[in-house]
Structure 1
């Protein structure tokens, strides 16, 4: 029990203040109390003062001088513990102070648990040792164990409190800022690393080729900006260090052979370059699926293919570029089409093999997507160039070889009889050596063999025309299917034929290379597309511009194969005659109309008089509703036809009334120009066109109307319709139409200028007066409408009043009748 009591007593009681006995004053009440109660106060005389002083001091065998210092030390320690229990002051940056009314600032505090350090523990132990009660070994061990348990409990409580207490947001922001700063520094370091590796590779590729793998490793970095920079830097490196030949890795036998250091270095360079190039292309293919890397990857593909189409893995590059020819991104599509066109034009870099591969891939792409691609996918065919004389030269060479072989056989038979066996063996050796030398020379020269060129050109042409014919066939089949589906409807929806226009341009460009066996079928399909008879409706699913292009292509095919073809193109003239009426400015393309007029009417030297007159009359009538550029192209065509057909000029004579013939009546809506009877009509449209707002058109119309059978001098006599159309389009941008409400546009006879100068009329517009007239007109119309409305309301009101009066009269009559009946009964 004594030990337990010693352990429980931890802190000594405070000593009373030291007061000298002389100053102590005892009251009378205290003295009376003690005298009355001596039995209760007798224990005081029996107290042991020495033991009391020992227990209070808890210090055995200490002197009075040391005792004062010991108490001061304990007091100082107690004040520190009290301050720790009260709390610690929060950092002034983390919390705002509170200002009291007296002007003092108080900062917030956070409670903090008192933790005893090892030094304080040692001091307590020393103090305990110095005290009266000393612990034995067993008690010390028990105390240490208890202390460890308490420390573990305090640690767990601190961890839980840290989890419960929310983190400081400002510290989180500081951590994020530090992370961003470190990330920026890391990114900058990686960019510097990319620049250093690229510079080292470009400076000495063979010695620093090992850095290429390290550069490619940065292409797989998690940061997108770093990956893009690494991809573009690798692109520049590969573009500059790739050799001008195709790398062939050595075989196992070649690797076992002893070679020099230079050969080993070159082999190591080629092997490392080829493996790195392959890894780079694989990385590009994987990144192409991501939309943010699409443009960068396509740029890398196009640049490598344009720079080195001869190098290894060029087939993969061509397929990747061809797949993006019909991309929805305009930048990607334009980049790919430009690359393919340069590939077709620069065949010296690859010898024509890449051209054949690209054309076949495009043909397969059109077949897979069923001709539903962007026009740029086959517009690249227009950049192809074919040698027209190659087939002729090869045919002549074959004939010459056959003749030489026949002559050679006869001469060999004669020489065999005359020459001995020794001479024969010498001639055979000489011929063999010549053949070997020629073969080596062809292999060393950059130029390809003519037979190889002919083979590649044949493969290219076959793929191109298969694509064109597939597009034409698909267009016809699609129109027939839609015509069956929409047979009940009155209007057939226009189908989408994205590749038809590009196909017709290509057929017209390469028409001289088409085999004659396919000409009849080609013209048949063009006739169907131009007429639109496959749809079964009056309105063709093709546009007017597409039908005009079919007519243009048919004439180009016929003229380029004029020696071998004898085809009647009357059906195409009929289609052009009808399409002029269907043309609408703004909806259809005027450039195609001008080209059709030039090829079909102006370039044709021989014209039937009935057909020429029909086209002259229809063009003159359509000019009244055309735009200025289309009108100019039509008038130039009319002028050309009148110059070539002198008898058609009688249509300009108003008093004669046209040319009388087998058809004396004019049919303006006839579909056949031979049955229109246009020669019996008069070109009265020129009189209206001479008053056109555009001075160039009015001048042209007036000069055509003054043509006679003797004179051929006409304004703009040698200008084709296409040039007239383009010139007036450019002139229209700067031309301002001036209108005049006053009649100042009276013209005198003979004022028309026959030279190439435009007429200038001084027209004035009174805008204020015009606005006043318009306002007066609209106010008058508004007043009239209001008056009519009020009159209708007045009529309804009067009618309702009349009905009400009649109703009242009838009620009065009924009441009077009822009163009379009552009187009679009474």
Structure 2
């Protein structure tokens, strides 16, 4: 039987190739994996390219003009690969090091960015400390380390932040160092934690105050001003806390500089506020003691604004006893013996247990007062007594040394402290005032003789002898009024005729002075090259007219206890004042006639004969230039100056003259 199977077909090369391609598409063979790794490694190899030129313009910074560096963006050449560090260094042109490695330059951060970062870090750390000081007390050291930056702004921000932080977290009591016995005692965990916190706080605060002391002497004015301002803030806010003396040294160091500097004004305002707001007395005593030592070390070559700080002490209004530069008079209750006090007290019977309990209670109350910084009245009086002696010692030394530029401040200060001066010190001051007036009078005579030969020196032009003599007279009578009136005159046997005679002799020269209505600080324009104090005070700014009126009011219209004024003195001064009114300016003349109106109101009967020629009581001739009040023979003259004053151009002066004449007619 024949086979129906088809004959075999011979395969050619084309069919064989086609079968292989089909097999490849259906079951493709895996490609070698090492080809991609080889490409990637080749991709990461550094390329040697030419250094591209920097086409960016320079920018102006705080340090000057600086060129902008070309920034390499990681995404710019993303098609080359992921951009590894080696490639970036190659693009930046980093040269290979000697060891075969590459030098990596640290990115330069601008100063503005550093300041912004420091602000954020300071704010974060300050908030952390204020939130929980006991747990985050270690951050105080980190806060101080930020101030080591060479950038000035960061240093200022750091010390200002530290000042605010310490002001908030410092407790209301003084922290004393723990003794060895207390360290060995067994304490609870809470007490130990509190003690560690207090010791860490004190150590950090000590380091901060030391840093302020160094920065206050810096050559950078802004940095020194910030340090002094922080010390001032802490001295006023945490006066009770540790290292108060160190803060005072910083303030006194600022006061030792030029009076026109900002730090000097900060120091003056700080001491004034400290004296006004000090309820304790110890900080004020420390400040006064340090201040007087600094003045003596400088031989009182200081500005008068520093001396006027004493006028802000609270003892001017709170202290009641009298004292001097070496002692303070105690009250009579304190002079009684202790046995007499005990007899007057009512004694109650107490058992031994009660006495022991009372003793323990008193000891506990004493410790509580010390912890709360409470000062008793007796201790406060004791502290104020020490302050009073230091102030009087400073005033008296300057008065004896005759320091010219401080005379006004010293004399006005003594006048304000007059009610606190005892009788022994009163006599010493009067002798010093007499000597000062005599010295100024001699200098005036010498200057008149040398006017034709040479010009006055700078020191003589600054010193005003007439003003000094008026200040001495004002101070002398203010001291007398501060005593117990007639009792002081009777006990001390005081003779103030020297001051009265000198006032009488200075009436005519003062009236002829063209600067009579100007103070020592206002009738000349300030010298731009002269070191003047920017502190504006109301001390030693009164004009000569005001000083003269004040002296005459004390002489002619004294208090009731001293109102027995001799008629001869009243007549001599009245005649001389009417003559001086013709030479005075309008306002001074008006003030002088106002004083005469008060004088004629109280003593019109004693001097009425000066306005009536028919009732002349004196014989001889009136001598207006004689220095002796009683020897001038005033009742031998008449008041003819009123006829000229009626023709004055000022209507106010005419009205004042009418009041004087009305009082005379009423008394006659």
* Corresponding residue number in structure 2 for 1:357: 286
Whole-Å separation in 2 of the counterparts to 1:696 and 1:407: 65
1:223 Cα deviation from its structure 2 partner = 0.9
* Corresponding residue number in structure 2 for 1:516: 423
Cα 1:621–1:331 change in 2 (3 A) is: farther
Residues 226-278 of structure 1 show CA distances to partners (whole Å, capped at 9, x for unaligned) of 11111111111111111111112333443444444433332232222211111
Residues 120-168 of structure 1 show CA distances to partners (whole Å, capped at 9, x for unaligned) of xxxxxxxxxxxxxxxxxxxxxxxxxxxxxxxxxxxxxxxxxxxxxxxxx
Whole-Å separation in 1 of the counterparts to 2:56 and 2:299: 70
1:538 Cα deviation from its structure 2 partner = 2.1
Cα 1:197–1:597 change in 2 (3 A) is: farther
Q: Is the 8 A contact 2:285 2:386 kept in 1?
A: yes
Whole-Å separation in 2 of the counterparts to 1:94 and 1:255: 67
Question: Secondary structure at the residue paired with 2:666?
Answer: coil
1:373 Cα deviation from its structure 2 partner = 0.9
TM-score (structure 1 length as normaliser): 0.56
* Corresponding residue number in structure 2 for 1:471: 398
* Corresponding residue number in structure 2 for 1:599: 554
Determine if the alignment matches structure 1 residue 246 to structure 2 residue 246: no
Whole-Å separation in 1 of the counterparts to 2:408 and 2:339: 45
Question: Secondary structure at the residue paired with 1:668?
Answer: coil
1:224 Cα deviation from its structure 2 partner = 0.9
Cα 1:554–1:224 change in 2 (3 A) is: same
Question: Secondary structure at the residue paired with 2:302?
Answer: coil
1:507 Cα deviation from its structure 2 partner = 1.6
Whole-Å separation in 2 of the counterparts to 1:186 and 1:89: 30
Whole-Å separation in 2 of the counterparts to 1:514 and 1:457: 14
Whole-Å separation in 2 of the counterparts to 1:360 and 1:207: 40
* Corresponding residue number in structure 1 for 2:361: 437
Superposition pairs for residues 61-72 of structure 1, below 5 Å? none
1:450 Cα deviation from its structure 2 partner = 4.8
Question: Secondary structure at the residue paired with 1:202?
Answer: helix
Cα 1:230–1:90 change in 2 (3 A) is: closer
Question: Secondary structure at the residue paired with 2:584?
Answer: coil
Which of these residues, 598, 606, 610, is aligned with residue 651 of structure 1? 610
Cα 1:395–1:439 change in 2 (3 A) is: farther
Whole-Å separation in 2 of the counterparts to 1:186 and 1:222: 11
Superposition pairs for residues 94-113 of structure 1, below 5 Å? none
1:335 Cα deviation from its structure 2 partner = 2.5
Cα 1:346–1:375 change in 2 (3 A) is: same
Cα 1:666–1:377 change in 2 (3 A) is: same
Determine if the alignment matches structure 1 residue 557 to structure 2 residue 479: yes
Cα 1:262–1:229 change in 2 (3 A) is: same
Superposition pairs for residues 68-217 of structure 1, below 5 Å? 182-217=110-145
Most deviating of 248-257 and 208-217:
248-257
Which of these residues, 507, 519, 540, is aligned with residue 580 of structure 1? 507
Cα 1:693–1:219 change in 2 (3 A) is: farther
Q: CA RMSD in A?
A: 3.3
Which of these residues, 614, 632, 636, is aligned with residue 594 of structure 2? 636
Q: Is the 8 A contact 2:618 2:634 kept in 1?
A: no
* Corresponding residue number in structure 2 for 1:402: 339
Q: Is the 8 A contact 2:137 2:197 kept in 1?
A: yes
1:323 Cα deviation from its structure 2 partner = 3.8
5+ long unaligned stretches in structure 1 = 1-87, 96-174, 416-422, 476-495, 713-826
1:573 Cα deviation from its structure 2 partner = 0.8
Cα 1:676–1:331 change in 2 (3 A) is: farther
Determine if the alignment matches structure 1 residue 613 to structure 2 residue 577: no
Cα 1:533–1:549 change in 2 (3 A) is: closer
Cα 1:462–1:691 change in 2 (3 A) is: same
1:434 Cα deviation from its structure 2 partner = 3.0
Which of these residues, 222, 239, 251, is aligned with residue 150 of structure 2? 222
Cα 1:706–1:454 change in 2 (3 A) is: closer
Whole-Å separation in 1 of the counterparts to 2:142 and 2:191: 24
Determine if the alignment matches structure 1 residue 660 to structure 2 residue 589: no
1:674 Cα deviation from its structure 2 partner = 1.6
* Corresponding residue number in structure 2 for 1:771: none
Which of these residues, 227, 241, 244, is aligned with residue 311 of structure 1? 241
Most deviating of 520-529 and 697-706:
697-706
1:497 Cα deviation from its structure 2 partner = 2.0
1:402 Cα deviation from its structure 2 partner = 2.2
Question: Secondary structure at the residue paired with 2:647?
Answer: coil
Determine if the alignment matches structure 1 residue 268 to structure 2 residue 213: no
* Corresponding residue number in structure 1 for 2:211: 283
Cα 1:636–1:586 change in 2 (3 A) is: closer
Residues 423-447 of structure 1 show CA distances to partners (whole Å, capped at 9, x for unaligned) of 9xx8555445434433332332354
* Corresponding residue number in structure 1 for 2:273: 342
1:697 Cα deviation from its structure 2 partner = 2.0
* Corresponding residue number in structure 1 for 2:654: 698
TM-score (structure 2 length as normaliser): 0.69
Residues 372-414 of structure 1 show CA distances to partners (whole Å, capped at 9, x for unaligned) of 2111222121122334457888641552632255789xx99xx
1:514 Cα deviation from its structure 2 partner = 2.4
Most deviating of 323-332 and 519-528:
323-332
1:466 Cα deviation from its structure 2 partner = 0.8
Whole-Å separation in 1 of the counterparts to 2:182 and 2:358: 30
Whole-Å separation in 2 of the counterparts to 1:313 and 1:186: 33
Whole-Å separation in 1 of the counterparts to 2:356 and 2:51: 107
* Corresponding residue number in structure 1 for 2:536: none
Question: Secondary structure at the residue paired with 1:574?
Answer: helix
Residues 478-524 of structure 1 show CA distances to partners (whole Å, capped at 9, x for unaligned) of xxxxxxxxxxxxxxxxxx62322222222222223223222222111
Determine if the alignment matches structure 1 residue 545 to structure 2 residue 503: no
Cα 1:680–1:220 change in 2 (3 A) is: farther
Paired residue total? 505
Whole-Å separation in 1 of the counterparts to 2:444 and 2:160: 57
Which of these residues, 412, 419, 427, is aligned with residue 505 of structure 1? 412
Residues 74-115 of structure 1 show CA distances to partners (whole Å, capped at 9, x for unaligned) of xxxxxxxxxxxxxx99969599xxxxxxxxxxxxxxxxxxxx
1:700 Cα deviation from its structure 2 partner = 0.9
Question: Secondary structure at the residue paired with 2:405?
Answer: coil
* Corresponding residue number in structure 2 for 1:684: 640
Cα 1:209–1:443 change in 2 (3 A) is: closer
Which of these residues, 622, 626, 629, is aligned with residue 673 of structure 1? 629
Cα 1:438–1:393 change in 2 (3 A) is: farther
Whole-Å separation in 1 of the counterparts to 2:330 and 2:226: 46
Residues 540-570 of structure 1 show CA distances to partners (whole Å, capped at 9, x for unaligned) of 9653222211111111222222323331211
Q: Is the 8 A contact 1:666 1:676 kept in 2?
A: yes
* Corresponding residue number in structure 2 for 1:743: none
Q: Is the 8 A contact 2:610 2:639 kept in 1?
A: yes
1:472 Cα deviation from its structure 2 partner = 0.7
* Corresponding residue number in structure 2 for 1:296: 226
- Rg larger for: 1
5+ long unaligned stretches in structure 2 = 1-49, 58-104, 322-327, 448-462, 520-542
